[in-house]
Structure 1
Amino acid sequence: MTWHGPTFRISDGETINGAWCLVWRRHDLLDDHHPENLFVYADGRITRGGYEATDLAGLARLLASGKVALTLPDGRERTAEPSKWLARYPEPRTDESFLAEVADEISRLAGRPSAHDLLMEAVRAYRRETTEANRALLRVAYLAVPAHLRVFVLGDMDRQDRPLRILVTDLGEPVDGDGPVATPELHQGALDYFADVDASVERAEQERVVRYADAPVGAPQPPVVLHETVYPRGWPAELGTFALRNDYDAPFTYAGETYPTVVHGYWALFAADRADHDRIRAAATAREAQELGAGAAGRADWAARRLAVMAGLLRAKFDQHPRLAELLAATGEGAILYTGISDAPFWRDEGPRGGRNWIGRLLELIRSELLAAGAGAGRAG
């Protein structure tokens, strides 16, 4: 079964994490089946199509009654594998094993250990101390994995779950009933398999540490959100993050021209005609500059140039206004989210709806350049 997500629902103001998968629902009147999403949530709630609520016991009743099916009924039965030990396919998914899978997914959503987590812990415990008591616990943990998922539990396409099947088989007994007889050597070979896996994981982690030696460490800083704000009576005397936005009045010179705001500069440079450029640059407000710019004929190559132009305008603004540069640098290392409705989604952040947030990303780049320049000056002194 393929689980999709994430999704969620709100209950009493609390966000409940969820996931969904596809099942077949029987139409009571037509005696026919149609596909439907089955949603499960961290608190154990299960819904069909997102509306009809039940729980794990209720889902068991729906499966038993045939109102919910895991596959489209066609009357055919799967041919049994000639040898369980040699089989290369998972065991058939049954109602019972699917219920175990749903219960496991609920545990995962709730942040509790999954059957896979508990199994791996049992493997580690048995490797630390190879007692019969620990092997018995390993067997319990292995059997707790939904039967149709066991061949995938180690993520090994070649060996599948055979090392586990060997370890949970008593000495002198054939593995899977028709496989090799479990011997101390066979058990040791399975233990060596897990030792090799752990060694490979450790090597990969060491390589990752070297490869990503400059990766950020610790908890990430909360994002800095630059909200679009209107000040009808003029900008506040005390600077705030509003001054980092493109409509803030901070005249600067770029490519030999002076612009009142970044908005003026962007739309003036967008215009293909020089007369439009000058008219936009002279606009009384940033909003008027944007409206004039949007109505002007634009440069044919603007899509290829706009990022470079915006980066250049922002650099000029902060290079020529040290107090604003300090304000930008003070935002630290957090992501900068540039929100609002005046800019196109290409430039702004739209939360769950998307938005490419290019202004925010360019501000992060310029902030990094400012901090690097400041650090370099400190070392030189």
Structure 2
Amino acid sequence: MRNILELTYPELEEAVRAMGHQAFRARQLWQWLWRKGVRDFSDMTNIARDFRDQLAREWSLGWPETVETQQSTDGTVKLLLRLTDGALVETVLIPDKDRYTQCLSCQIGCPMGCTFCSTGLMGFVRNMTGGEIASQVLVAREHLRTHGLAAEVKNLVYMGMGEPLTNWEEVRRSLQILSHPEGLEFSRRRITLSTCAIKGKLGVFDTEGLALPAISLHAPTQEIREQLMPGAARWPIDDLIKTLQELELKPRERVTIEYILIKGVNDSLQHARQLVRLLSHLKCKINLIAYNPGPGIGYAAPAPEDVLAFEELLRKKGFTVTLRKSKGQDIAAACGQLKTEAERRMNTTHEQGH
């Protein structure tokens, strides 16, 4: 049976009509699925019983299953989810005052092969479906409610496992589901899509207008980008910046540049000056992140004084800079770390059983 959470709103209307019911029933159904977050058709109390029975016969209503939860001392929550085919994927809830930002995954593994990233080292397993991506939000909202964490998920960042633009069709479906006014109502302003930048695909930001772009740059030169991001670096860095300059964003919008500072690789003042030159004609803000090392990866976190010096130089040159504090370090909250750890434990247990 097909999972009803895979349907966009127009598809749900069509399915309801095909089942012999009026289209307005789709609105009631959508609100139960996405706004109220019920897990069972029988709980949809304002829908006639015969329709509920019919839904249960013809459709499944399957959420990802939470297999492990970790909570950091700083309030960051990481959920390891099992999808219907057994694949494991991570989502992270990052607290900010009275709200949470949720970090969504869009692929099992990742095809980009970034050398500093736990997910990149896994390789690529498969794309997630639009429904699998969007239903991570349902699981997170239920987790917050059942644990008495009254705050809501206010912002979404596609910064979890995977490269969104290599799974754009399904990512687009998830955005259509998550932004629908009868459901979770996330506006473009509250959704950021983090991408390594895939040649020929950046146009989705000005043509589709479903999310704001955050570009994982992580290097001030082509040479360093090739070392850190071999997959993404096939698109020369100067061409990438030129394309970003041509994006048609709304008046107050700017491109976010993500830059992970890695000790001895891209964190010196010389690197900061190279970054200034590279970005001097781009309407952007820079999000600096101190590297959070994962197991088995040969890179190290930068010294705090180097981070501050790097940030200060950029500010002096007139850039808007935020220094994103690395959250959840005590629970391995960087993408892919919990999945890697959980699979290692499962394999060890499996081997001991033989």
TM-score bin (small chain): under 0.3
**Greater percentage in strand:** 2
Provide TM-score, normalisation by structure 1: 0.23
The structure with higher relative contact order (CA 8 Å, sep 6+) is 2
Which protein has the larger Cα radius of gyration, Structure 1 or Structure 2? 1
